[in-house]
Amino acid sequence: MTGARGPAGVEVAPLFPILDSLRAVGALAVLTTHVAFQSGAYVRNGSWGDLLSRLDVGVAIFFVLSGFLLSRPHFARRMVDAPPPPMGRYYWKRLLRIYPVYAVTVVLALTLIPENRSASAAQWIRSLSLTDIYLEGALPQGLTQMWSLSVEVSFYLILPLLMLLVLGRAPRPLRPARVALVLLALVVLSSWWHLHLVSVVGERSEGNPALWLPAYLSWFAVGLALALADVLRQARRPRRAPGPATRLLEALEGSPGVCWALALGLMLVASTPLAGPTLLYVATDVEALTKSVLYAAVGGLVVISGLRPPATGSYARVLSARLPRHLGHVSYSVFCLHLPTLYLVMEGIGFPLFGGNTWQIWVLTVVLSLAASEVAYRSVELPALRLRNLGRRSSTSAPRTRQSETTTR
C-alpha cells in the first residue's frame, strides 16, 4: 500500500490493488447468476440453485466499492486541508469511465439481437440515456443488467452534493459525528423506501422504484463508512488507542478468510425464503429489506477483505498479482457485454432456455465475454481514459501520485 501522505499522515491517493481483483469477483458473480437463470439452474439444483440465484450480490460489491473509492478522496483531502476534487473533472472522468463501453454495448444489443431490431427511436434514446428504469416497460434483451448502471450513475451525479452535506464547506474540519449522522439518514431512507415508498411512488410513476437509487443508498453508505474509517485511523495519533469500531475493522482486515467465511454464511441466509423468492416473483417489503441488509453486509465484508490485508499473506499476494488485477480492469466490459454474449451463445449453439447445460453455457460465456472484453478494454476503454486529463492545467494544490485503476466497476 503506497500513496502520497498529507501532513496529518493520511494517504491522499493510496493504491488498493486487491480491490481491482474484487471487481472481477463481482462481475463473475453477476455473469454466473445470469447463466444460472437462463439455463434453469435456479429450479433444477435445489439449495445450490437458490445460492446461484443470490449471486446478484455482485452488484452490492460494486456499489460498496463505488462508495468507498469515490468518497475517500473527499475525506482525505478535508483531513489534510486540501480542496475537494474539482467537480467538473470528476464528472468528466466518470463519463469517460462508464459511457463509451456502455454505448457500444447498447448499439450491439439493439442491432444484433433479433428481439431488439424493431426498437423504436424512443427506445434507443431511453437505452442510450440510461433512463429505462424510470419509464414503463422492460429493459431490452441483452441490457437487463443495466438497471444497476443507471443506479450507479445516479449516485455519481449526487455524490459531490452528498459530500458537501457530509463535510460542510471548507475549511471546516472533518466531523465524524456529522458524517455518521448523514450515513445513518441514508440507511433509514433506504429502509423506508423498501418498506413503504416503493409502493407509494410506484402508484404515481411509470418506472420501477424498486430499481431506483434510494433503494440502494445503504450499500453506498457502507462504502462511505469504510472510507471514513480508513482515513480516521490513518490520522489517529500513535499513542491514542483505537476505538472498538477501528479494532473490529483492523481485525477483519487482518483475517480475509474470516471475512469470506462470514460473507458465505450471510449468503446462505440470503438463499432462504427470509430474503424473498429466488425466481422473478415479487418479494414482500420486509423480504426486500432483509435481502438488502444481507447484501450490504456481504458487500462490506468482501471489500474489507481487500483493503489492508497482511502484505505477506497468500491472499494479498495472489490478488495483487498482475492477472487477477487485469481481470478487474476488464471487468466493467465483462459486466456490459456478458448478457449479449450469453444470448448469442444460447441462440448460436441452440441451448434451449431453461434447458440445463449450465456449466457448458457458463464456460462458453466466460471465455467469449473475456475475449470481447479484452477487445473493448483496449479499443474503447483505454483510448477514452486517455482523454481524462484533456484541458487540465497542472496544479500543486494537493499531493499527487499515481492513481489506482480501481474506480467503480
Is 210 domain-assigned? yes
What pLDDT does 5 receive?
53
Is 8 domain-assigned? no
Instruction: Render 144-191 in DSSP notation, one character per residue.
Output: GGGHHHHHHHHHHHHHHHHHHHHH-STTSPP-HHHHHHHHHHHHHHHH
**CB neighbours (10 Å) of residue 274?**
12
pTM given for the model: 0.93
Is 294 domain-assigned? yes
**CB neighbours (10 Å) of residue 282?**
9
> Apex CA 132: angle with CA 130 and CA 135, to 5°?
135
What pLDDT does 396 receive?
43
Most distant pair of Cα atoms in the chain: their distance: 68
Question: By the 8 A CB rule, do 218 and 290 touch?
Answer: no
Enter the C-alpha cell of residue 229. Answer: 474509517
What pLDDT does 172 receive?
81
Question: By the 8 A CB rule, do 369 and 334 touch?
Answer: yes
Is 202 domain-assigned? yes
Question: Rounded CA gap, 166 and 121, in Å?
Answer: 41
What pLDDT does 266 receive?
98
Domains of the chain: total: 1
| CB-based contacts of 123, cutoff 8 Å, min separation 6 | 110, 140
Is 122 domain-assigned? yes
Enter the C-alpha cell of residue 153. Answer: 450513475
Is 227 domain-assigned? yes
Is 150 domain-assigned? yes
The mean pLDDT values, 10 residues at a time, for the chain of 409 residues are 56 89 98 97 92 98 98 93 90 97 98 95 97 93 98 98 90 89 97 94 88 98 97 76 85 97 98 92 92 99 97 95 98 98 95 95 98 98 92 49 49
Instruction: Render 272-307 in DSSP notation, one character per residue.
Output: SGGG--SSSSPPPHHHHHHHHHHHHHHHHHHHHHTT
Question: Rounded CA gap, 78 and 166, in Å?
Answer: 11
List beta partners, residue 11: 5
Question: Rounded CA gap, 349 and 276, in Å?
Answer: 34
List beta partners, residue 5: 11
Range of the domain at 45: 17-385
What amino acid is encoded at 378 in this protein?
R
Is 68 domain-assigned? yes
What pLDDT does 6 receive?
53
Does a cis peptide bond (omega within 30 degrees of 0) precede residue 171? yes
Instruction: Render 337-390 in DSSP notation, one character per residue.
Output: HHHHHHHHHHHHHTPPTT-S-HHHHHHHHHHHHHHHHHHHIIIIIHHHHTTTTT
What amino acid is encoded at 289 in this protein?
L
Give the single-character DSSP code of 106. Answer: H
Question: By the 8 A CB rule, do 65 and 216 touch?
Answer: no
